[in-house]
Structures are given as C-alpha cells and as structure tokens.
C-alpha cells in the first residue's frame, strides 16, 4: 500500500499539491535517516529501510501503524509528516485530521 501511495503522489496530478510537498518533506527526512541506517547507527527501523527512499517510506508507514508511539518518540518530525499525509494521528486516537 505504501509503495502504491508514494507512486501515485509522485506521478499523478489529480491530488492536492500539499500531498506532494508533504511527501517531499518525508523523503528529505528519509535521506538523512538512511545515512544513519547505512552507517550502522542504532535506529528504530530495520536495515532494509536504508535500501532506497521507497523502502524507507514503506517501513515508516509500517511503523506509523504498528508502533506509532515509538515512531513519534524516536522521529517526531517524520511522525507528524506521516500524520498529515495519511490524515490520521493514531497516538492521539484522531482518525480524521482536518
């Protein structure tokens, strides 16, 4: 699902520009975090997240739903961007952000 969402946002013109801007912010964070992962630094994500930005995004979305509190604690900026992109905040039980 995450791969399809990312591809759709990057290739479609049918969606609001803010989705692309938010994804761009997420991918900027991804590049910084991938450097840490690939350098062998301890990280909340498994090493596979360092393969490329697409895999990083997929792993980030997994953590967003499976371990939202851990993600928010470790990477609050990434968590908040994902909450905007996915229009929900599971840490605060808010499933429809306005």
pLDDT tens-digit readout, 20-77: 999 999 999 999 999 999 999 999 999 999 999 999 999 999 999 999 999 999 999 9
pTM metric for this prediction: 0.92
Q: Does residue 15 have a pLDDT over 80? A: no
Helical axes 76-86 vs 17-38, angle rounded to 10°: 150
Residue 20, token pair as written in the block: 């692309």
> Which of 2-11, 47-56, 77-86, 89-98 is least confident?
89-98
Helical axes 53-66 vs 76-86, angle rounded to 10°: 90
Domains of the chain: 2-92 (3.40.390.10)
What letters, b where the CB count within 10 A reaches 16 and e where it falls short, cover 23-57? Answer: bebbbebbeebbeebeeeeebbbeeebbeebebbb
Which one, of 2, 12, 15, 54, lies nearest residue 31 by Cα? 54
């Amino acid at each position: 699902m995450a791969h399809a969402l990312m591809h759709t946002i990057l290739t479609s013109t049918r969606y609001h520009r803010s989705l692309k801007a938010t994804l761009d912010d997420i991918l900027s964070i991804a590049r910084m975090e991938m450097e840490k992962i690939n350098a062998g630094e301890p990280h909340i994500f498994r090493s596979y997240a360092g393969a490329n930005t697409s895999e990083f995004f997929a792993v980030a979305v997994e953590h967003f739903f499976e371990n939202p509190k851990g993600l928010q604690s470790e990477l609050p900026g990434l968590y908040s961007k994902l909450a905007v992109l996915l229009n929900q905040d599971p840490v605060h039980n808010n499933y429809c952000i306005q």
